[in-house]
Amino acid sequence: MDFQARLEALTHQLRPWAPLWSRSILQGWPASGAAYPQAWLAYARSLDDAGERALDQGVLVGSPPPDLGALLSVLEELTALPCHEGLHSLSVAEAQGLSTKKAHELERVLSLLERRAHFIRGAVDIGGGMGHLARLCSRTFGWTFHSIDRDAELQDKGRRRLERTHPSGGDSLCFIQASVEDGLQPQLDALFSGRERASIGLHTCGPLALTQLRKSQGAGFVLNIGCCYDKLEMPRDYPVSRFGKEHPLPFTPHALALMTRGRHHKTEVEFARMKRVYAWRFAFDLLSRRCFPERGFVRAGDAPRGLYAGGFSIYARDRLARLGLDSSMTDAELDAFEVSVRAETRDLLLCHLLRDRFARALEVVLVLDRGLLLEESGFLVECLQLFEARLSPRNLALIASRSD
């Protein structure tokens, strides 16, 4: 794939819509709604529940505005990436104690390494957690493996598991408790260097991904999958490549949060649940603006699931109490308020469905910029979708090997 052409084309499409994707809808409401073309909103308002759900999956039913249809299809084309479909099946014993998500990720990573990293003899895993990948790689490929993490507790759990299941596994696997930072760390840095060494980062959160890429200049093979983009700091962490700097997008904390959330295709039940959560949150926001204008934007926070199952008044009472506020409204008045703002809360929902359409494209821009950083330092780089989105939504992998 031509990373430069893809990044340039995506930024060209995304830049004009920055007022829409770079701001929070709720915090800036109602002014934030002005970024959404009237024709898009009119179309979204015309949708029934099935149409809204289709929009949530990127499908436009009926007669969408031509510019919206054209934009979504070009973004779909530009975010399409090859998928790695192979699986290295884990045995029952190997998968014991792993979540379905973790087992899926490990099966895909092992299968990828099996095919691409046959020249590798040793590896380092940055942010290796309990060392699942290290344990499986050293057993499957016979590599020596260093698993680095700053969380001593996680590593202890991993060590105990290793002692229980592979008493002799400690020979080739070494846990190192350390915080990996940019800048010189001679003892750690040596682990990232060597043509027969792989540098692996499976869900390196926030800037840890960039630390990995910078430390891996001397590695023979690099695999990076990022996550938690909302932990990045702008402009320090994006753009990082020379080419990216010539084609920057105005990433904000709100844009980073948009690309961080999971966005798989929802079942009918999941979609209905999401709509209810949004409806209660938005109505609560409108209520707090009306009753407590001096407080500005009030963060309702995550509520226990059960609170969304009952009426709005139950939810609102709980949130008001948590925030130490008293609206002096009866339950009947709270419920009537929610009904009175339904047209507005629906508009808020529709804006969110439209804004979500930009999330993957923004994520791909961020990852391409990281890929270009590797290319610019002489690596041959690929970008693949490694995991199934439903199981693991942060699924974009950068795979790099030395071209000389």
Ligand X SMILES: C[S@@+](CC[C@H](N)C(=O)[O-])C[C@H]1O[C@@H](n2cnc3c(N)ncnc32)[C@H](O)[C@@H]1O
Residues at the interface with ligand X (CB under 6 A): 127-129, 148-151, 154, 179-180, 202-203, 205, 208, 227
In whole angstroms, the minimum distance from the beta carbon of 154 to ligand X comes to: 6
**Angle (CA) 208 104 127, round 5°:** 20
In whole angstroms, the minimum distance from the beta carbon of 241 to ligand X comes to: 22
Closest residue to ligand X, judged by C-beta, is: 127
CB 220 within 8 A of CB 120: yes
In whole angstroms, the minimum distance from the beta carbon of 34 to ligand X comes to: 37
In whole angstroms, the minimum distance from the beta carbon of 263 to ligand X comes to: 18
H-run or E-run covering 2: none
In whole angstroms, the minimum distance from the beta carbon of 127 to ligand X comes to: 3
DSSP string, 171-193: GTEEEEE----SS--HHHHGGG-
CB nearer to ligand X: pick between 184 and 269: 184
Contacts (Cβ under 8 Å, ≥6 apart) of 275: 52, 349
In whole angstroms, the minimum distance from the beta carbon of 185 to ligand X comes to: 10
CB nearer to ligand X: pick between 148 and 213: 148
How far apart CA 352 and CA 372 sit, in angstroms, is 31
CB nearer to ligand X: pick between 29 and 387: 387
In whole angstroms, the minimum distance from the beta carbon of 87 to ligand X comes to: 17
CB nearer to ligand X: pick between 26 and 188: 188
In whole angstroms, the minimum distance from the beta carbon of 129 to ligand X comes to: 3
Q: Characterize 339-376 residue by residue with b for buried, 16 or more Cβ atoms within 10 angstroms of its Cβ, and e for exposed.
A: eebeebbbbbbbbbbbbbbbbbbbbbbbbbbbbbbbbe
CB nearer to ligand X: pick between 32 and 224: 224
How far apart CA 198 and CA 134 sit, in angstroms, is 12
Q: Where are the alpha helices (DSSP H) in 34-185?
A: 38-45, 49-56, 66-79, 92-95, 100-116, 132-141, 152-165
DSSP string, 275-310: HHHHHHHHHHHHHHHHH-GGG-S----PPPGGGGTS
> Is 400 exposed, middle or buried (CB count within 10 Å of its CB: 0-12, 13-18, 19+)?
buried
Q: Is the backbone peptide bond immediately before 248 cis, with ω within 30 degrees of 0?
A: no
In whole angstroms, the minimum distance from the beta carbon of 206 to ligand X comes to: 8
CB nearer to ligand X: pick between 89 and 179: 179
Taking the CA atoms of 153, 154, 155 and 157 in sequence, report the sign of the dihedral they define: positive
Tokens of 2: 């031509």
CB nearer to ligand X: pick between 203 and 289: 203
CB nearer to ligand X: pick between 148 and 368: 148
CB nearer to ligand X: pick between 260 and 288: 260
Q: Where are the alpha helices (DSSP H) in 217-341?
A: 242-246, 253-260, 268-291, 312-322, 331-340
As beta bridge partners, residue 400 has 222, 381
CB nearer to ligand X: pick between 48 and 181: 181
In whole angstroms, the minimum distance from the beta carbon of 131 to ligand X comes to: 9
Tokens of 324: 């130490």
How far apart CA 254 and CA 230 sit, in angstroms, is 8
